[in-house]
Structure 1
């Protein structure tokens, strides 16, 4: 059954698509695009019900992100990234959730999670400094999730390495304009943010290991299976869903444009078996990517619902498939782009934007296949994974 949010996205789909070029030109989402996304409720899908959200099944979240990305890749990407943050916030001290959502349940939180800052311990919390690139949607967010290393009190990482996620209000960080000049996903506005000696109360922090395997949910006594899912399964979900949705959008435009296209030989493309074969194969590959991504997170959710623990083998399998889904879908997009004709490269043709957006999305670190593919056979052999590898599985 389709979630109501997906239905609202489809209703506003034509307008979202019409705004895509403006978003790319602005280098961030337009106010109208954000208004449509807020009205649909995409970012509230994984937000707890008690704070105005839906506490939805992760499948519904993935399908909503794909639906947005089919119309505008940048908007879908922001939904996939920003939309997972309410899920993590639900696992933190409830005081923070009240600060963020009591006045406005539609408050958005940006991120980047890479530990580019040092959080020095002080009485009651930490003092944080650093600079983080790739803060998607930051212009429309009032808070930011940032990755940080626990410091030694002198601005240097303490040993052994400890990674935290910290949450700061907009007043405690600076968004640096001019730092998002890119070839694809331009409309995401993934700018740099800078923090200079901001105090972060301890209740606005969480250790990465706590959310890595659902330990934070257990510590808080959360009963909803949604919040017991592993971070390295949930965080990639929205990003890969956006990439698949982008590929679905490109395929739809390709088929629409080929219907009446005449090749240089004078043959109508709809009578060219080679182009049609490629389109059919690409459609099957993109559909397989969608099904496998949703199946993986759904099986993990069902496992938690049934009271069975999620093992490192389970996590490695989901990550392996999630990475493969993205590469399979983009490879299929490459096949249809190559057969879309010379007009596909014109800036006024949405296909070239989908193609650029998909490749930039594929370059995200969660789509790098090396670690995910390496971890899977090790876990299936019952061998220990290095700590650096476990952190992303």
Structure 2
């Protein structure tokens, strides 16, 4: 059965596509794009039911992001990143949940999670300063998750590092305008964030390791729902990779429309050229496989948690390996499609070139780096416990 939000996104698909160029021109989501996301309800799919959310199966969330990204890569990306934040907020102290959603349960939350700041303990909490890049959709958010290292009294990070996710209201951080000048995913408005000596109450923090494990944070928050017992590094990459694969699906759809009546320079119609048709179908199969591979991973994790078992590191490593591979497979297939689209695909009024740039930009995210994910997965399959540096992001 198709989730109601997925169905709504499909219905709104042409409107998302029509707003995509304006979103890119602005360098942030346009008002129309924001309104469509809100109308569809994508950002509330992983929000707990006690605040009016859907608490949906994460595979349904992924499919909603895929559908948005098909029509507007930037909107899909912001949904994929920002849509996971309500999931983590459900694991936080109930006091901050009420602060964020008590008056307006539709409030959006930004990030990033990189440990760009140092939080120094003080009475009742921490004092934090720092700089962060890549806060996707941040113009439209009123709160933010930021990664931070706990520091000593001199402001130096403790060793070994202790990483937290801290939560700040909009008044406590600065968005750096004109800090998002890029060749792809321009419309995400993924601007820089600066924090200077902000006080963070202890209840607005959550230990990054507890969230990574999933089960620990859920128990502490009193959440028994299967959704909130999943590990962070299965959930956060899910939204981002869904956006990348969705962008590639959108490129493929535009390619089909464009090629159906196109005549190549040699005078042969594309629909009569077996070599091009072979390449298109091969690429289409790779993109379809990427979608299936990604959804299979999160479905397996969900089934494990639903059975009352803990998603082990070994399982997490394989999910991450397959998620990374799904992204790369889809983008490499998109390259094959774009290379066979002719010179007119390069024109700025052709949506294929935007999808091609957006897909490559999405592949540059840290969660799509192959090295550590592949290394750890291979060792795990051999029965070797990966060293701590290889366990990062898994």
CA–CA distance in 2 between the matches of 1:390 and 1:339?
40
Question: Which residue does the alignment assign to 1:359?
Answer: 360
Matches for 1:40-51 after TM superposition, within 5 Å: 40-51=40-51
> What TM-score comes out, normalization by structure 2 length?
0.99
Shift of 1:308: 2.0
> How big is each residue's C-alpha offset from its partner over 1:281-325, in whole Å with a ceiling of 9 and x where there is no partner?
111100000011001000110011111221111000000000000
Question: Which residue does the alignment assign to 2:250?
Answer: 249
Q: Which SS does the other structure have where 1:19 is aligned?
A: helix
> What TM-score comes out, normalization by structure 1 length?
0.99
Shift of 1:346: 0.5
CA–CA distance in 2 between the matches of 1:154 and 1:15?
52
Question: Which residue does the alignment assign to 2:200?
Answer: 200
Whether 1:128 aligns to 2:128 is yes
Whether 1:332 aligns to 2:333 is yes
Question: Which residue does the alignment assign to 2:63?
Answer: 63
Matches for 1:250-289 after TM superposition, within 5 Å: 250-289=251-290
Question: Which residue does the alignment assign to 1:300?
Answer: 301
CA–CA distance in 2 between the matches of 1:221 and 1:79?
26
Contact 1:67 1:245 in 2 (8 A): yes
Whether 1:211 aligns to 2:218 is no
Structure 2 alignment gaps of length 5 or more: none
Question: Which residue does the alignment assign to 2:291?
Answer: 290
Whether 1:157 aligns to 2:153 is no
CA–CA distance in 2 between the matches of 1:229 and 1:311?
10
Shift of 1:135: 0.3
Question: Which residue does the alignment assign to 1:111?
Answer: 111
Matches for 1:142-153 after TM superposition, within 5 Å: 142-153=142-153
CA–CA distance in 1 between the matches of 2:50 and 2:3?
19
* RMSD of aligned alpha carbons: 0.7
Question: Which residue does the alignment assign to 2:78?
Answer: 78
Contact 1:212 1:391 in 2 (8 A): no
Corresponding pairs, count: 393
Structure 1 alignment gaps of length 5 or more: none
Shift of 1:381: 2.3
Shift of 1:183: 0.1
CA–CA distance in 2 between the matches of 1:128 and 1:348?
45
Q: Give 4+ residue runs of structure 1 displaced > 3 Å after superposition.
A: none
Contact 1:165 1:206 in 2 (8 A): yes
CA–CA distance in 2 between the matches of 1:342 and 1:113?
39
CA–CA distance in 2 between the matches of 1:387 and 1:31?
44
Matches for 1:337-356 after TM superposition, within 5 Å: 337-356=338-357
CA–CA distance in 2 between the matches of 1:36 and 1:391?
35
